[in-house]
Structure 1
Amino acid sequence: MSHHGVGPRAVMRSVAFLTAGVLAAPLLTACGEEDPAGRPAAGPDIAPAARDRIADGGTLRWAVDAVPDTFNTFQADADPTSARVADAVLPSMYRLDAAGRPQVDTDYLESAKIVEREPRQVVLYKLHQEAVWSDGREIGAADFVAQWRALSGKDSAYWTARNAGYERIEKVERGDSDLEVRVTFARPYADWKSLFSPLYPKQVTGTSDSFNDGARKKLKVTAGPFAVDEVDRKGGEVTLTRNPRWWGRQAKLSKLVLRAVPRDKRTAALAKGEVDIAEIDSSQAQRIMPAGGEARGPGGSASPRGSAAPTGSPDARGAARGLSGPLARSGGTLAQGPGTALTPAQALRSWAIAHGSDEKAAGKETLARKKRRAELAAYRAQQSALRGFEVRRSLEPAYTQLALNGADGPLADERVRRAVARALDRAELAGLVLKPLGLPADPVGSHLALSGQAAYADSSGALGGQDTDEARALLADAGWEEGGPLREPGKAAGAEGEKSEKSEKKSGTKPDGEADEKAEKKTGDGAAKKAEDEDTYVVGDDNKPYATDDDSPLARDGRQNAPGAYAPRGTRAPADAARAPLAKNGKPLSLRFVLPSGPGTESLRTVGERIAVMLERVGIRTEISKVADDSYFKDHIANGQYDLALYSWPTSAFPATDARPIYAKPVPAADGSLSVEQNYTRVGTNQVDQLFEQAISTLDESETRSLIRKADARIWAAAGSIPLYQRPQLYAVRPQLANVGAFGFQTPVYEDMGFLKKGATALQSPAGT
């Protein structure tokens, strides 16, 4: 993911399965009141160090998802690695600080400001006097003009994925000198600071051929502290080296190698010494931290090696028995690694079979025991190697939400969506994911910004917090009754159904028969029959799970005693915790909840299944379907084949531009289909659209923030998506590395990254500062 927040927004807006310095103190408004944006929930954790403490030279090997298909971040197939390369090798007019707010990048600009507002908005850029491309040519107006023309949307020969903002420009021209660029807008544009970041040379943007193909495989001309030296697609590496024409502070590293390593292979790559830094998931982090590596806290604080594990954690319980690390036994089972599921009874049975009189069974069991011992030995060796790393932690500029598909079915009724939202304890859900990692676990209060960002304000009050009674009242008002008669799908509802349909037409809601017919096409028989797929089940059915996977890392950290939350599969919830299923027109209230099934998504499944328990308590049943990661988004979320789903959105420093497509009201397309842009919940209102348009067209930053906050309040009220928690950002890093790790909001400073000199130490700042 790009950390610019001002540049490759196609990458910033991809769905995830998903910076040295101290955070600024809370800002005050002009009238002396506290800014509702507050401060970031967690600061960057990068082991900050002054440049004189860092050795000159060295190669940093950084694990990434893949070698990018294109280095042009304005194309549809650009990915987070495309953006990371652009961060290191291309100009950016603005960069983000630790609070996620844009600041002038003084390596490229002396200043940038609005110099005229009427009759047209004019922005004047004054470029750094030494700023040159790697071929020796000055960065100037010609590059700005070429990029504007390429991204304006006026020439369809350019294969662009986005042109937001550029289409509002009337002209770009040279100022009073070669170091000045004047940009005149045809329509006011509040987010003008988002433009020309990254800035490509005119060699890339000057013609459609060079734009479409010239920068896909190689970037020949750059202007950053690093340059692209080699792209080895077969070997899965991109090598960046120092740019000899860089006029700023020389990069401390000689080379930065971006190496493609799949997410589930990263602990192995770290242990083998193949990479020095890798973004990891929570289960990998929990494995590395007990291995001996320090777990640095938000803001740079660290938990010393050997410090006590949290009470109730597997390692604390193992330590009480004289054991340590992920191999510590608790109740006779391994906390992590090979043999995790092997109980004492199973171990005894294995030994008995291996030493029994049945030679065939004994031989087979002996081989299995040898295989387990070999796997355990390899795991122990890997854990030993992982002692050479620490985990640096912060919160991503992204949040996880519960999406409610309002296109059809029960969730087409706003009252049902609001009931779902009011049934959720968002603080509990945030705590499930973030507390085990030692990160702040406050629920997210905005769809459009995160705490610390300028547009942030907690607008969740427009919908209301957890309230079981209110959730049940909303469902009753929508016609869902407890203990009502059930019928087989497709049968007529009789007089009562006709009466209900007439009342719904009168109230302006969608007829239930119409909604349910569409819902049946989407989910099959839904919860009315037991699913044959072992990865699909109904929460609340007899002999079906109420809770999370027993193997989930979050289920093993001592919270399994929460009532009804982590009971074994098939265990009924406490009698007072659940309600009888609700029904309407003879059909039960059941929602299809789609969750990913792949490695690294355990926390999503844990949260999803806890949500299912909360909904079951107000009478809403959920049919949970666990689907393959590669089809989760494209086949289910984007196509609307779900009722409930969990996925993440990055936030931007420019929500008026970047968030608008996510919450725009769907409109009929020319072919009769529904054009949803990126609004995969299919819930939108004219009011929200109008507020976004007003926000983007106002040049008063205070007024823009006010309009964005009003739009967010209305998005909350529509209950199409419910923000839950800011995503954890976890990096395994060699302790000798400084100025690199979990950046949070802040744009990485690539020239300051490097290895500490012998005997030097990084600075540390208190957690959360």
Structure 2
Amino acid sequence: MKPIKIFAPAMLGAAALVLSACGGPAATPSGSAAPGGSSAAPTGGASTPAETPAATSSGWDINEQPRESLAQGGTLRLSVTEMMTNWNGAHVNGNQKDNTDMQAPLSPTYFTFDSGGKPVKNENFLVDFTDEMEGESQVITIKMNEKAVWGDGEPITADDWIATVNALNGKDPAFEAASTEGWKDLKSVEKGANDYEVKFTFTKTYPDWTAIISGGPMRAEAVADANTFNTGWTTLKNEWLSGPYKVESLTADLLTLVPNDKWWGEAPLLDKVTFKAIAADAVASAFANQEIDFLDVGPDPDGYARASATPNTVMRKAAGPNFRHFTFNSEAENLKDVKVRQAIVMGLDREVIAKSDLAGVDWEPKPLNNNIFLPSQPEYVDLGKETGIDYNVEGAKKLLDEAGWTEGADGIREKDGAKLNVKFAALTGVKASENEALQAQNMLKEIGVNLEIVATPVADFTGGNLLEPGNFDITAFSWIGTPYPLRGIDQIYGGSPDNWGSNFARLSNPELNELIPQIAVEPDVAKRNEMGQQAAKLIWESVHTLPLYQRPELVATNGKLANYGAFGLGSANWVNVGFQS
């Protein structure tokens, strides 16, 4: 991530398409997906950059229109859950989907992603690149657009890339980076022939190199030292940003963007883009009242019904690598035993949970039995079926028997005089989370687990007071994925007690820890996929997290909005977002 975190296994992971410097997955409390995420993700992890965008396909549903046919002007009104207290998207507490969404029109973008999730060179920032091997090292050399400048007109140079790498490569633990994935694999980064050429040398091979370069560098002065990186981003500073838009104003609940007068590329079509902070349970009403132009409906049947009935509205749909899940805190007293965690999995009918979450929504959910690959990908293996760790009430009871938990007079299991009580942190106002808690509570009674629902403010989730300190036994949220199915597995599933990072389950698996770095550097697609399947099985058997279902990317938009909608694995080209006349 981190309610909307940006970390998660490459797959599903957690970002929607996260084009921030940290380049990982993201987490969201409500399950709303960031632009990006599709079941058509490139397999094998490595994604070869494309020189030109792919032809229009069903990978996204964005009302794709040529910019020449669109009106000049207008205001696009969007929403977020809340404004940020740390605007550094590469920081562990700034690595959230809301932050990514708000900064997308403001940030360097070296690669965009087409409808199939293919990286496409953005010549506003990146003129050319080469990919070569020097011995065992992979070397990427980029040539930057010399016209590209920061918000105060200062040029973007190799020094910015060098400072970014130094902040994110993990060599200085004082930098509280959300992820060091990819950055830590760099042997060196140095200026090339001039200030606008940068040479990245990896220790070995790094198949997903476009992922870390796609979001561009951070300004050198913005990451000059750990204190600035960690605490210096309390406000959005135009001089630290670079994109077709800039910040006009920022209040406690409204961010307003206007065209950037320092922008050197094609002029953006819109006069303004606004992001209003609206509580999760009030967004559907805001859309129905036509206060905003875009609603990520996700698994909200009420929102779907209200949006569908709103005048001048179009419903758009795409599949993405975004999924609801339960995270198990393996350090919680009654969840330390893997047999207890497995029994809980076997006591949950996730198909019922999914259908309950999505009742009234145009999407047919199925239980997701893999943490790395999606059912629509050829590498997918149904690990519930393969391992037997799937819905099976009698099997769950047997496991609890084996773990020494015997049924008490009240039906709740006991061991050494203690009840099998487990706390579920349900996010207040997030319907999916509240529903999942109630569904799980009723189901787990049957196997003798007392699931206590703890109402938890969304602010605890977004503010780092829930996941990071481990103030939960089980909680539910959505991971937002990226176009890189095998990237960043360590971000959520790796780590150690010294630095759990985004491993909110606080669970370390030695076999997995040994496998992850091999996956990161394996250039052979088939071998890499096979190792990914091994990793997925280890994650499933240890019950690190339990996927519930692949969530739909269902969005409602103003009927005239063009080049923005359900992106799948793609990403927005912000200069082309506008309205039809």
1:624 equivalent to 2:549? Answer no
Identity %: 23
1:217 equivalent to 2:236? Answer yes
Residue correspondence of structure 1 range 668-683 to structure 2 within 5 A: 669=498, 676-683=500-507
1:466 equivalent to 2:391? Answer yes
1:228 equivalent in structure 2: 246
2:66 alignment partner, one of 44, 50, 54: 50
Residue correspondence of structure 1 range 89-488 to structure 2 within 5 A: 89-100=106-117, 102-128=119-145, 131=148, 133=150, 139-154=156-171, 160-176=177-193, 180-186=197-203, 188-196=205-213, 197-202=215-220, 204-205=222-223, 213=232, 216-220=235-239, 222-224=241-243, 226-233=244-251, 236-243=254-261, 245-247=263-265, 249-270=266-287, 272-280=289-297, 282-289=300-307, 292-293=309-310, 387-395=311-319, 397-407=321-331, 409-450=333-374, 458-464=382-388, 465-481=390-406
197-206 or 621-630, which moves further after superposition? 197-206
1:348 equivalent in structure 2: none
Q: For the structure 1 residues 112 and 86, does the alpha-carbon distance in structure 2 shift closer, same or farther, using more than 3 Å as the test? A: farther
1:614 equivalent to 2:443? Answer yes
Distance 1:730 1:109 in 2: 32
CA drift of 1:222 comes to: 4.4
1:719 equivalent to 2:543? Answer yes
1:685 equivalent to 2:514? Answer no
CA drift of 1:740 comes to: 1.7
CA drift of 1:470 comes to: 2.8
1:562 equivalent in structure 2: none
1:66 alignment partner, one of 70, 82, 91: 82
Distance 1:596 1:723 in 2: 16
Q: For the structure 1 residues 474 and 152, does the alpha-carbon distance in structure 2 shift closer, same or farther, using more than 3 Å as the test? A: closer
| 2:287/2:307 contact within 8 Å kept | no
Residue correspondence of structure 1 range 506-585 to structure 2 within 5 A: 582-584=413-415
Q: For the structure 1 residues 28 and 198, does the alpha-carbon distance in structure 2 shift closer, same or farther, using more than 3 Å as the test? A: closer
Distance 2:294 2:452 in 1: 35
Distance 1:689 1:171 in 2: 24
| Structure 2 residues not aligned, in runs of 5+ | 5-14, 45-57
CA drift of 1:189 comes to: 3.8
CA drift of 1:7 comes to: 2.8
Q: What SS does structure 1 have at the residue aligned with 2:71?
A: coil
1:345 equivalent in structure 2: none
1:591 equivalent in structure 2: 421
| Aligned partner letter, 1:16 | P
| 1:111/1:125 contact within 8 Å kept | yes
1:663 equivalent to 2:493? Answer yes
CA drift of 1:115 comes to: 0.6
| Aligned partner letter, 2:238 | L
1:648 equivalent to 2:482? Answer no
CA drift of 1:474 comes to: 2.6
Deviations 1:142-180 (A, max 9, x none): 332232234344557766554443333233234356654
| 1:201/1:221 contact within 8 Å kept | yes
Deviations 1:389-440 (A, max 9, x none): 4444445643221233333544333223222222333333222223521124
Distance 1:80 1:95 in 2: 17
| Aligned partner letter, 2:397 | R
1:82 equivalent in structure 2: 99
Q: For the structure 1 residues 146 and 684, does the alpha-carbon distance in structure 2 shift closer, same or farther, using more than 3 Å as the test? A: closer
CA drift of 1:219 comes to: 1.7
Distance 2:92 2:385 in 1: 37
Q: What SS does structure 2 have at the residue aligned with 1:596?
A: strand
Q: Which structure shows the bigger proportion of residues in helix conformation?
A: 1
Q: What is the TM-score of this pair, normalised by structure 1? A: 0.62
| Structure 1 residues not aligned, in runs of 5+ | 30-41, 294-386, 487-540, 542-579, 670-674, 758-769
| Aligned partner letter, 2:476 | L
Distance 2:489 2:438 in 1: 28
Distance 2:82 2:20 in 1: 20
1:737 equivalent to 2:546? Answer no
Q: What is the TM-score of this pair, normalised by structure 2? A: 0.80
Deviations 1:548-579 (A, max 9, x none): xxxxxxxxxxxxxxxxxxxxxxxxxxxxxxxx
Aligned residue pair count = 546
Q: Give the superposed CA RMSD.
A: 3.8
Which structure carries more relative contact order (alpha carbon 8 Å, separation 6+)?
A: 2
| 2:383/2:537 contact within 8 Å kept | yes
Q: What SS does structure 2 have at the residue aligned with 1:252?
A: coil
Q: What SS does structure 2 have at the residue aligned with 1:609?
A: helix
Q: For the structure 1 residues 215 and 455, does the alpha-carbon distance in structure 2 shift closer, same or farther, using more than 3 Å as the test? A: farther
1:39 equivalent in structure 2: none
| Aligned partner letter, 1:624 | E
1:697 equivalent to 2:521? Answer yes
| 1:111/1:126 contact within 8 Å kept | yes
1:605 equivalent in structure 2: 434
Q: For the structure 1 residues 65 and 289, does the alpha-carbon distance in structure 2 shift closer, same or farther, using more than 3 Å as the test? A: closer
Deviations 1:279-324 (A, max 9, x none): 456155144146x23xxxxxxxxxxxxxxxxxxxxxxxxxxxxxxx
CA drift of 1:621 comes to: 3.0
| 1:89/1:228 contact within 8 Å kept | yes
| 1:684/1:718 contact within 8 Å kept | no
Distance 1:630 1:21 in 2: 23
The higher radius of gyration belongs to 1
